[in-house]
Structure formats: C-alpha cells, structure tokens
Chain A
C-alpha cells in the first residue's frame, strides 16, 4: 500500500480509545473489528450470523466508546444498504456476515460499485451452500466475492490467514475502499475468525490512513462533477450535506451523476469501474512467498488452508520435494503477473491448490497455465491437513 497520508483520521482521546496499542491474545473476529476501529471506522450496520457474530458484538461494544455508530439491522439486505448510505454521508463503514447473508448483500454490492461508495464487507466463510454447516469452516465464497452481484465491476478482496492479519487487513480494506471508491471484502474463514492468537496492535501513529479524495472546488459554484474521474480513474467524493447537491443513482450515469441510458454511456462508466481496479492491480495485489526461489511444485493457498500448506511445504522439502508456497493475501486481484513470472522461469513443474471448496482458486490457476494443477479439496466442514497436501504432491 502507498499511504497518501500517515496522519490518522482521529486525534486525542478518541484515537487512544480506538487503537488499543499493545500485545493481545485475541480472537480473529475481534481482531478484525479492532483493525477497523484503528482505521477510523465510523459506522457499522449488520445482522448476526455465525461465524461472524463476534465482529458485530465487538463493535456493538466498542463503536459507542469512540463516537462511532452501531446499528443492528433487520437483515443483510438492509445492512448493506445502510453502510452505503452511511458512506455517501461521509462515513467509513463496514458490515460483517457469512455465506447466507453474503448472498443477500450481493444486491447492493453492485450499488456500492456503481455509486462508487467506499465500504467494507467482511465475510467469515462457513461450509455452504445454503445453511450448510453454520459453525464449520468453508472457503467457497471466493468467486462470489468477485462475481456475486450482476454485471461487471471492480472489487478488491483480502484473505487473512491469522488474527494478526485480520487486524492488519481490516485497516488495509478500509483504506483501499476509500482510495479507489469501491466495495472491498475481507474474506475470512471460520477457522481464522474463531482462532485466538497473538495480535500486536501498533502505536496509533503507525496505523496507515489513506483518505478519500474530496472535491477541490467549493460547493455552490455548480462546477463540480461528482463522477468525473481524475487521472487515476477515481472521482473525488462529495458527501450528503456538504452543499454540492449531488445526485447518485444505480442507473448508468454521466459525470454529473445524471441517468444517461445509452450503450455508449454504459460502456464508458462500466469500463472505468472495472479499470480503476484492473489497471492498479499491481499496486493492490498482495501475496506472501515461502521457498519459491527454486520451487518446482508451487502450492497456492489462502486463509486457514495456507497454514497447512506452509507446513506441508516444509515437510515436503525434508522429503526432497522442491516445493514452495504462494499465499494469496488478495484473492482479487489475483496475482497473475507473479504466477506468469514463475512460469517464465521454466522451472515450475506443477501447481497444487488446496482450498476448502471444490476448486475455485484452481480455476484461476488453470486459466494461466497448461501445467498440471492438482487439487486438494473438501467442500467444507474440515481443515485440510498438511499430510493430505503432501499426499497429492507425491502423487
């Protein structure tokens, strides 16, 4: 990330209450909530659902302490609408859910995308489809995060692999949402959400803060075009009540925000919604490499499964298998450039993709290579253990 300002959004006592600097033994869900608070979360709307409920509970406690607003809504349709409403009124806003609620939120994910209303959706994935195994792990919402609402639009999705990363990526997700004016996702899984581990919360001044761009012209002059992008394809944002008298619509619109119901206007708008993420993908994409330098077998994984994958790679090395791990920190954008560079070395012989779904990330890898892409899957309910991954590597 490239913070445009290190200045935190809040100051004084409020900041001290927001950023609980120190070393904690903390639940992943709680760490996610604390990261959002540290990044200046103003508004949470949500509906309780296992295994994300602890985020909702934590923020019910903590947001009022720091002057933020907590609203428990009647359902996830309303939660998603409310965080967009809060966003256009100037808030850093977030909601948290799991699969069934995530499906409901998809409706207004599209609205957030076309209104360019920054907001964050946390999905703590459980075994699905439908109600599935509500208290057991799943990782099957990967493609839904990218393609879940109808139409084309750009989003960013992060996949934390530890409670520490739940904290760190909550900050990152709020910053990225504001920087690109997009909905961003934190794709946790039940094991990470319900894992308690050491979480180090840094001093407040070390929390990166990337502000939303605001109009350079004052209100009342009638010259501000709310959807006219800068060179980075992102328009500055005017909020409700600031005097710009903006109009935001889910219809295809022009730079003024007025409906413009033509194919040409649609092409211009939708391409920009996609391109502001696509063309910045190299800046946004995040991954971690482990023993990749001479690897012939590349394991690609994320979330809780990446922890097994890392151990599997260590054990495989002891057996003489030249394995390495590419751990996805952003699921979207997918690290295509890095994978292509690995392929260009000519050294890679195969990929192994362990994931708690029936092959969603594997599809992305297969799209990039003709090499064997071996799967290690279950549809949810159980951790993929290191021995299962090694067994597939040896096959």
Chain B
C-alpha cells in the first residue's frame, strides 16, 4: 500500500482507503454519528501498514452493526452467524497459519451469545486479532440491553433502567489469558490504529475494545446526545493509563465525572496455540494405553478353520 500524502489543496473523488474498501458496497448501512465507520477506518489503515500481504489478511464478523464490517473491507471476508465469528475464525487460522485473521464484531455478538468462544479462544491463545466494538447495546435490533449496558441505563428491554452488572471487557480478556489487551475509543484514531497494528503483528490472541457511540439507539435514550456530543464527552473523560489496574476500569457511561480509562494495558509474550503436527521434530508420543487402540490389523490365516 502506498503512503498517501494529504495536502488539503485539491478536491478529489477518492479517499485514501478506497483501495481497501469494497467501493461497490458503499454507502454503508451505518447511522449518522455511529463510530463503527471510524473503527473500520483504523482497521484498514492498520492492514495497509501491517506489512502483511493484503491477500493474507482475512476479516471475520458475526451479526449486528459491527458484523457488517467484514462486508466492506476488500480482503477475504466472512460474515458468519451470531456469536460464532471467533470459532469460525479459529477454523481459518488453525487451517492456514499464514493468514492474519481479524475478527470484528460487536459487544453483544462477542460477549453475550459468543462469550464462551471468546474466553476459550483467549485461553488457547489462538492467533486472532479480536476487535470488539462496544456501543453498549444491540443497535441492529433497535437498542436492547446487552452484557455491556451500564447499570441504570435505559434501553428498550430495560425500560426501568438496567439492573444487570456489565462486563469490564479488558479485565475479562486479561483474566482468560489474552496476551494483548487494549481499550480505545473511536476518538483515538491514531492510538486505535496503532493498537490494531500491534495486534496484527503480534502472534496470539489480541483483544481490543473500541468504545463507540450509538446515538440512534443508545445515546438518545440516555441523555448522551448526538454522536459528536458523545465524542466530546470521550475527549473530556478519557484517561490514558497503560498501567491501569484492570479491575478498576469499569465504564460508568452515565456518570459524567467518571473517567473512561483507555490504553494498551497488556502486552506480554505467551506461546500461541499450535496444533500438534507431524514431522521429524515431533517428539510427543501418545500414552501406550491409547496407542494400543490402533492395533486393529490382522493377517487372515487362509489355512485356518472356516
């Protein structure tokens, strides 16, 4: 990918990331003020800078607004079923370890219906980049509460306020073994792009939470206002703390004086998942008891009794 210099002098019909998007699928379905497009912009920039052959990048999404991202990025892309983007991506990544597989999906998809897959893929340290765009609700279906919806928040399924305690996603990802854990908002385009780039270049399970406005279905019911107003609140409230204690970084979106802690929190070396493969270097031997199951062959005694 060539570096594009933005001079600001010349009007043009093109955009620097056009080549990385499926232009024939645009305009996208996302609402005004939504942050998913910005997150997608950071993903394609990171892809371009990754040094990885574009044809070795794969994008996998689940279902929901963020699930549509796979359909807009011009690499091999798979829009799967609700919650199953990660295990689908596990199949791709394990079958062909040369591929750089990025999962882009929403908070509901990855942490509610897909929560079990998230924790197990992290535990196994499968070589995946998981970008969880958290807009605090199920946007595609019209603004229902999910596992990241803040306490007391209004949604169409919590008309008296949400009384479920939400996930603290970086804390969760760290606890289940992800060797790279970050959180940024869609306001932090450079930091977010850099975090995604780091994930693409780092082996193992890398988890990035991306805080994103959903003015249509979340913001307007929770006194947050427009997408722009939510972005301004990120600017006021975000605190970069790479060394934050992850247990302490829950987001209380409704409390204006409560900080939103962002940063690249975890970046450690951990042996990624490696299926046992045949070859001269292989030293693992099955236990004799199991190996015995293999001895099924016999030679028929042609002179024996009938």
Contact = CB atoms under 8 A, between A and B. Distances in A.
Interface of A: 14, 17, 20, 22-27, 30, 42-43, 45, 57-58, 61-62, 64-67, 69-71, 73-75, 77-79, 81-91, 93, 107-108, 110-111, 115, 199, 219, 240-251, 258-259
Contacts of B138: none
B141 interface: no
B70 A247 contact: yes
Interface stretch (B30-38, B179-187, B197-205, B276-284): B276-284
What is the predominant secondary structure among interface residues of chain A facing chain B? mixed
Given A88-B92, A245-B75, A81 B275 contact: no
B278 A107 contact: no
A61 B294 contact: yes
Contacts, number: 179
Contacts of B257: none
Contact of A42 (B84, B95, B290, B296): B95
B306 interface: no
A259 B275 contact: no
A84 B95 CA distance: 11
Nearest to A45: B91
A192 B193 CA distance: 55
A136 to B, nearest CB: 23
B56, B76, B298 interface centre (most CB from chain A within 10 Å): B76
B91 A241 contact: no
Given A58-B293, A88-B92, A89-B99, A78 B120 contact: yes
25 contacts: A23-B298, A23-B300, A24-B297, A45-B91, A57-B293, A61-B291, A61-B294, A64-B284, A71-B275, A74-B116, A81-B80, A81-B84, A81-B88, A81-B91, A85-B92, A86-B95, A89-B92, A93-B95, A107-B84, A110-B81, A242-B55, A242-B76, A246-B76, A247-B78, A258-B71
Interface in B52-105: 55-56, 58, 60, 63, 70-71, 74-81, 83-84, 86-96, 98-99
Given A111-B80, A241-B99, A244-B76, A78 B116 contact: yes
A251 B29 CA distance: 14
B91 A86 contact: yes
B286 interface: yes
Nearest to B96: A89
Contacts of A70: 275-276
A245 B78 contact: no
A78 B293 CA distance: 28
B55 A85 contact: no
Which bucket holds chain B's interface residue count? 35 or more
Nearest to B286: A61
B118 to A, nearest CB: 10
Contacts of B188: none
A14 to B, nearest CB: 8
B288 interface: no
Nearest to B116: A74
B95 A85 contact: yes
Nearest to A85: B91
Contact of A245 (B76, B93, B291): B76
Given A43-B91, A71-B90, A240 B99 contact: yes
B117 interface: yes
Contact of B282 (A64, A248, A249): A64
A328 B98 CA distance: 43
A14 B278 CA distance: 9
Interface in B3-37: 22, 24-25
Contacts of A71: 90, 94, 275
Nearest to B126: A71
Contacts of A65: 278
A244 B22 CA distance: 13
A134 B91 CA distance: 28
A77 B87 contact: yes
Contacts of B93: 85
Given A86-B95, A111-B80, 18 more contacts: A25-B298, A30-B296, A61-B286, A64-B277, A64-B282, A66-B278, A70-B276, A77-B84, A82-B90, A83-B91, A85-B88, A88-B91, A89-B95, A91-B95, A93-B95, A241-B55, A247-B78, A250-B63
Given A88-B78, A108-B81, A248-B78, A73 B96 contact: no
B299 interface: yes
A258 B73 CA distance: 12
Contacts of A83: 91
Contact of B297 (A23, A84, A240, A259): A23
Contacts of A244: 76
Given A67-B278, A89-B95, A247 B88 contact: no
A90 B298 contact: no
Contacts of B83: 77
A84 B75 contact: no
A73 B93 CA distance: 14
Contacts of A14: 278
A90 B81 contact: no
A91 to B, nearest CB: 5
B79 A61 contact: no
B99 A108 contact: no
Contacts of A93: 91, 95
Contacts of A84: 80, 88, 91
Contacts of A78: 84, 86-87, 90, 116-117, 120
A71 B299 CA distance: 34
B92 A250 contact: no
Which of A23, A219, A248 lies at the interface centre, i.e. has the most chain B CB atoms within 10 A of its CB?
A248
A69 B25 contact: no
A259 B71 contact: yes
A20 B120 CA distance: 35
A316 B186 CA distance: 77
Interface in B251-306: 275-279, 282, 284, 286, 290-291, 293-294, 296-300
Given A82-B91, A90-B95, A248 B79 contact: yes
Contact of A247 (B55, B56, B71, B298): B71
Contacts of B71: 247, 249, 258-259
